Structure 1
Amino acid sequence: MMSMSLPSPCSPLSEFLPSPSLSNHPVFFNNTRKLCCHKFSSLKLVFIPAASLSTTKSYPTETTVLNSPSFGNKEQRLYPKEGEEHKGLPMKEEEQESLDFDEKASEFQVLALLNAVKALPCKERVDHIVRVLDKEIGFLNISDFNDVLMALVTANESDLVLKLYSGLSCYSLEPNSWTFTIMVRCHCKKKDPGEAKRVLDQMMQKGFNPNVATLTTLINSFCKMGQLQNALQVFEVMDRIGCKPNIQTYNCLLKGMCYVGRIEEAFELMEDIKKTTVEPDIYTYTAMMDGFCKVGRSDEAMELLNEAMEMGLAPNVVTFNTLLDGYAKEGRPLKGFGVLKLMKQRKCMPDYISYSTLLHGLLLWGKVLAGLRIFNEMEGSGLEADERLMNSLVRGLCRKSIKENDLVEVAYEVFEKMKKRGFVIEQSTYALVIQALWVAKKVDDAFINLHQMVRLGYIPRLITINNVIRALCVGGKVDEAFYVLVLMYENSKIPSRMSYDLLIHELNRQERTLGACNVYGAALVRGVVPHKKPRR
């Protein structure tokens, strides 16, 4: 096939090598008329479904273009044809993320395009698609163009969408309401709400009024960026064009206000919502509860939860987790037990975040035994605590075991569980475990873990070294104590005077004078003068 290129101003789409060969596959557009662009007058619109990127067979210049796939005789299309009513994109509710187009409404055409995009290698995806679109494909009408844009936006190919949109005039096409709507979404996904706002302005200058889904998407994008004032300006546009906000719109504004700390304004907005025909949902209450919890007003958040349940709303796990986090940050993690109990009563099972948030709060505020209880419940439900939490739990148990020796076994059991899971054990955790073991007179275990600690590259503190040497000497295990000294030498750690004194004292007690002399001489070589001297 003769290579073809787009002249300026479409040159950005044609600065690539000729497109690769393509296998014969059905296409997904429902028109066979010639292209409007004279540059493509000999081509028909084709698109490759997933797994059809063959490089072994050339695609003929003249190809029969098949009809769109359909259910029975009903043609499937995501976008309305010319003359059809613009009803807007449906909304999709998720946990605190209720702003996305309903992908369940995607038809075969867009799904096939999406699958084709995803089938391409990630690194080559943009260049490859541009070559195909530039060299092989022309767009029959704006609806076809929108189908491709929508598939690419869904596939997170925002850069390619922008390239195609910038060359729209090369296909002799004019953007319609859906084109602008897709581009607003594209810029929002790129976290560029400012550019999305400029597209919205262009849309309105062309005489198209955006729907509530489009405006809510833009409001949400501004709020996530902390640009509340811009979000409020878009909200004013809704009022100006007579587009009534829905509960998703209000929820976005609530979250935006709470995000920038304007809690009182958010609460006033929530009270105003109750006076409209729009009914608050559980996301409304969750957003306001999160705002209260972030500023240390968790009790007011609990009042809102009770109000929501009285209205018949079902709180979800995010709602309860918000309270757990609030109480933990306020230094009242024990209140989380009541929240956990309420969750179970409401048939809302705690998830990993529920347990880890509560456990972290309990350990942070020194409630170690309560934390152990939550840890056991968490593990019993099939959820594993991460290494950060387990390090904190082991350290807390070791500190408490100094006063309560029966906790040493529990701490060591959790410690061993960390090893089996391959978790990274922090240096401070090792040090406290060793300390707890020698206090509990488990000298052999302390010695073994000190050796493991050094092998991992950790350099123990002198107090840890001396404690192990003292414990070994008290137990008459002077050879093991001497080995600790050797470990320090090997790792360029100079033992303290106390380390040498302990060893010399024990060697004197065992009447091993030669050994005591050797230790004393080794100390002098390293610039340390022990108080204890070998017996003569």
Structure 2
Amino acid sequence: MFSCQACPYHPASSSLHTSTLLPAKSPLFFTSNSTQQANFLIFATLPTSTQSTQPRNYVPLQEVVAKPCSKVTFFMPKLKPVELQENCQLYQDKTSRKFHDFLETVVAAPTPQKNEAVDKLQREGRLQTISEFNHLLMALVTADEFELASKLKSNLSSFGLAPDSWTYSILVTCYCKMNEPKEAKTVLDRMLENGLQPNVATFTTLINSFCQNGRLQDAYEVFDIMTRIGREPTINTYNCLLKGLCYVGRVEAACDLLMNIKKSLIKPDIYTYTVVMDGFCKVGRSNEALELLDEALDTGLTPNAVTYNTLFNGYFKEGRPLDGIGLLQQMKERRCMPDYISYCTLLHGLLKWGKTKAALGMYKEMVGLGFQVDERMTNTLMRGLCKSSRKEDELLKDVHEVFEKMKNEDCAIYSCTYDLVIEAFCNGKENDKAFEILDEMLKTGYSPRTFTFNLVVRALCLDGEVDKALSVLMLIHKDRMASRIPFNILINGLNGQGRSLDACTVYGLAVKKGVVPQREPRKCWPE
């Protein structure tokens, strides 16, 4: 995908003020006959994305669509947001009302009602200009109402209208969003046959769609058409080609293209470098990716979290997770704040390659920053700590802390994690804690391993808690095959406490289960 998120139909989209917000009920596009004033036209009512970080009642200005002509510009810097909203409201009262009911119908209505709304729109003749038609068509495409957009386009002639360059550009975007670049190419060809010339952004959209599907030959054919009719590619166009080359593993070709870009008048951006870095990392050449990062820094570019995440992922795949920790420190020193993906990639790599202590430090840093570690990685960390605690007793404290945090935050604890936690506490002589967790595990609905049961029985008997061990024995044989090991342990423990009758009872239970213990109860009567 290309880095610019502005409207792909606007030749001046780079001037977009992304920090400016407009009311969600009034997405706008702006036309300007001079640099001194701007006229406003409301084209659609669009639903606000539920994933947006902006307030629910507002949408970013970059989501607004503009008509592709040389006189069209976005929001002028001298125009204050308050003035914008006031002018917007004046025009909304006159114009947007004619489409309001239609758009309200199609947002959440079932398909039959949507089709009926299109037919009604046609019957009433409410679309009087191709500009109005294009606004409505773009609104439907933006809302992912592709079938309805296609139906509206098929009815274009019934409105007495002929498609213009904007209509075709919208349809190219529609098919690309539907992941049908071949159909989008057909629309582009028809557009050229009718003497209309797409702008660079339309070409770039189609090139990007082909590249995302790994169809490099088709992408380059579109690129050749673009240059043949005199449309100069932008860095966004080249970024799409670079991404496509790396996607199919042609890293050397991507590197050559990057060299050619640097020799041209077009200046690479940080995304250009990031794409090629990602290509190197995917084929196990992270050192070369790091060299590209240094080059980007030397040219004055500012890497972002995505750039560094690419390297973190490369180190992870190459089994070099500890190198990622050093890079993380450099990232912070360069005032680039790591994001959630940065930490998750590093933590995953450290766990994957068995760097448990380093993973614990990364986990604590994430928690300290307020990041939520997902249950899969938390369970993996927990198991790693338990295994490491077999040789390093000091890690038992961390086992306890992480385990309690998992319970307090309602993090799902896997059955295998419970088994290892119980083992860790038994090995650490915290037998009561192990017994407590075993009971908790059973209440959760998990069935512990036989090894876990035997371990708890042995630990409790060695600690003199024979009655607790006996209760564990009852749980063992409730729904599983009998084993002589726990019987031997318990008989030996009861003998040690002089409880020969109880030992006889346990021995009898074993025989009843079809098991003959190696240990026998001590005789409780004189010879």
For Structure 1 versus Structure 2, the TM-score category normalised by the shorter chain is: 0.7 to 0.9
**Structure 2 residue 467 is matched with structure 1 residue 479:** yes
Contact 1:285/1:305 (<8 A) preserved? yes
- Per the TM alignment, residue 48 of structure 1 is displaced from its structure 2 partner at its CA by 9.6
Going from structure 1 to structure 2, the CA distance change for 1:363 and 1:301 (only over 3 Å counts) comes to: same
Contact 1:88/1:211 (<8 A) preserved? no
Structure 2, unpaired ranges of 5+: 1-25, 30-41, 48-63, 76-87
Going from structure 1 to structure 2, the CA distance change for 1:379 and 1:401 (only over 3 Å counts) comes to: same
Contact 2:43/2:136 (<8 A) preserved? no
What does residue 512 of structure 1 align with? 499
What does residue 73 of structure 1 align with? none
- Per the TM alignment, residue 118 of structure 1 is displaced from its structure 2 partner at its CA by 7.2
Describe how 1:184-223 pairs up with structure 2 within 5 A: 184-223=172-211
Describe how 1:40-55 pairs up with structure 2 within 5 A: none
**Structure 2 residue 296 is matched with structure 1 residue 332:** no
Instruction: Give 1:404's aligned amino acid.
Output: E
Instruction: Give 2:520's aligned amino acid.
Output: K
Going from structure 1 to structure 2, the CA distance change for 1:114 and 1:370 (only over 3 Å counts) comes to: farther
What does residue 430 of structure 2 align with? 442
**Structure 2 residue 268 is matched with structure 1 residue 283:** no
Going from structure 1 to structure 2, the CA distance change for 1:270 and 1:122 (only over 3 Å counts) comes to: same
Going from structure 1 to structure 2, the CA distance change for 1:253 and 1:408 (only over 3 Å counts) comes to: same
Describe how 1:482-497 pairs up with structure 2 within 5 A: 482-490=470-478, 492-497=479-484
Which one of 442, 445, 449 corresponds to residue 454 of structure 1?
A: 442
Deviations 1:463-509 (A, max 9, x none): 2111111001111111111111222233x122421111111211222
Instruction: Give 1:482's aligned amino acid.
Output: L
**Structure 2 residue 119 is matched with structure 1 residue 131:** no
Which one of 415, 425, 437 corresponds to residue 427 of structure 1?
A: 415
Deviations 1:229-272 (A, max 9, x none): 22122112212222111100110111111111111111111111
Contact 1:378/1:385 (<8 A) preserved? yes
Describe how 1:50-89 pairs up with structure 2 within 5 A: 78-79=66-67, 85=70
Which stretch of the first structure deviates more once superposed, 301-310 or 137-146?
137-146
Which stretch of the first structure deviates more once superposed, 280-289 or 418-427?
418-427
- Per the TM alignment, residue 79 of structure 1 is displaced from its structure 2 partner at its CA by 2.8
Going from structure 1 to structure 2, the CA distance change for 1:495 and 1:228 (only over 3 Å counts) comes to: farther
Contact 1:320/1:343 (<8 A) preserved? yes
What does residue 348 of structure 1 align with? 336
- Per the TM alignment, residue 521 of structure 1 is displaced from its structure 2 partner at its CA by 2.5
Deviations 1:251-310 (A, max 9, x none): 011111111111111111111111111110000000001011111111111100000010
What does residue 299 of structure 2 align with? 311
Contact 2:43/2:132 (<8 A) preserved? no
Contact 1:196/1:218 (<8 A) preserved? yes
Which one of 526, 529, 534 corresponds to residue 513 of structure 2?
A: 526
Contact 2:44/2:135 (<8 A) preserved? no
1:77 & 1:406 partners in 2: Cα distance? 60
Going from structure 1 to structure 2, the CA distance change for 1:208 and 1:50 (only over 3 Å counts) comes to: closer
Contact 1:88/1:212 (<8 A) preserved? no
Deviations 1:371-401 (A, max 9, x none): 1222222222222222122112111111111
Contact 1:50/1:115 (<8 A) preserved? no
What does residue 320 of structure 1 align with? 308
1:361 & 1:488 partners in 2: Cα distance? 38
What does residue 223 of structure 2 align with? 235
**Structure 2 residue 485 is matched with structure 1 residue 498:** yes
Which one of 293, 302, 311 corresponds to residue 290 of structure 2?
A: 302
Instruction: Give 1:524's aligned amino acid.
Output: V
2:44 & 2:224 partners in 1: Cα distance? 43
Contact 1:344/1:350 (<8 A) preserved? yes
Deviations 1:49-71 (A, max 9, x none): 699xxxxxxxxxxxxxxxxxxxx
1:362 & 1:215 partners in 2: Cα distance? 42
Going from structure 1 to structure 2, the CA distance change for 1:284 and 1:429 (only over 3 Å counts) comes to: same
Q: Name the SS of the counterpart of 1:532 in structure 2.
A: coil
Q: Name the SS of the counterpart of 2:370 in structure 1.
A: coil
Deviations 1:196-236 (A, max 9, x none): 11111111121112111011111111111222222122112
**Structure 2 residue 359 is matched with structure 1 residue 378:** no
2:382 & 2:168 partners in 1: Cα distance? 56
Q: Which has the higher helix share?
A: 2
What does residue 469 of structure 1 align with? 457
Contact 2:450/2:476 (<8 A) preserved? no
- Per the TM alignment, residue 349 of structure 1 is displaced from its structure 2 partner at its CA by 0.8
Describe how 1:166-177 pairs up with structure 2 within 5 A: 166-177=154-165
Going from structure 1 to structure 2, the CA distance change for 1:111 and 1:521 (only over 3 Å counts) comes to: farther
- Per the TM alignment, residue 189 of structure 1 is displaced from its structure 2 partner at its CA by 1.0
Which stretch of the first structure deviates more once superposed, 523-532 or 437-446?
523-532
Contact 1:114/1:152 (<8 A) preserved? no
Contact 1:89/1:213 (<8 A) preserved? no
Deviations 1:78-102 (A, max 9, x none): 436xxx6587999xxxxxxxxxxxx
1:231 & 1:290 partners in 2: Cα distance? 20
What does residue 398 of structure 1 align with? 386
Q: How many residues align?
A: 451
Q: Name the SS of the counterpart of 1:199 in structure 2.
A: helix
1:213 & 1:268 partners in 2: Cα distance? 24
2:511 & 2:267 partners in 1: Cα distance? 82
Q: Name the SS of the counterpart of 1:334 in structure 2.
A: helix
Going from structure 1 to structure 2, the CA distance change for 1:121 and 1:181 (only over 3 Å counts) comes to: closer
What does residue 99 of structure 1 align with? none
Going from structure 1 to structure 2, the CA distance change for 1:115 and 1:266 (only over 3 Å counts) comes to: farther
Going from structure 1 to structure 2, the CA distance change for 1:142 and 1:48 (only over 3 Å counts) comes to: closer
Which stretch of the first structure deviates more once superposed, 414-423 or 160-169?
160-169
2:480 & 2:457 partners in 1: Cα distance? 15
1:198 & 1:89 partners in 2: Cα distance? 30
2:133 & 2:219 partners in 1: Cα distance? 30
What does residue 261 of structure 1 align with? 249
Going from structure 1 to structure 2, the CA distance change for 1:234 and 1:111 (only over 3 Å counts) comes to: farther
Q: Name the SS of the counterpart of 1:406 in structure 2.
A: helix
Contact 1:215/1:238 (<8 A) preserved? yes
Instruction: Give 2:516's aligned amino acid.
Output: V
- Per the TM alignment, residue 436 of structure 1 is displaced from its structure 2 partner at its CA by 0.7
Contact 2:175/2:181 (<8 A) preserved? yes
- What TM-score, normalized to structure 1? 0.78
What does residue 259 of structure 2 align with? 271
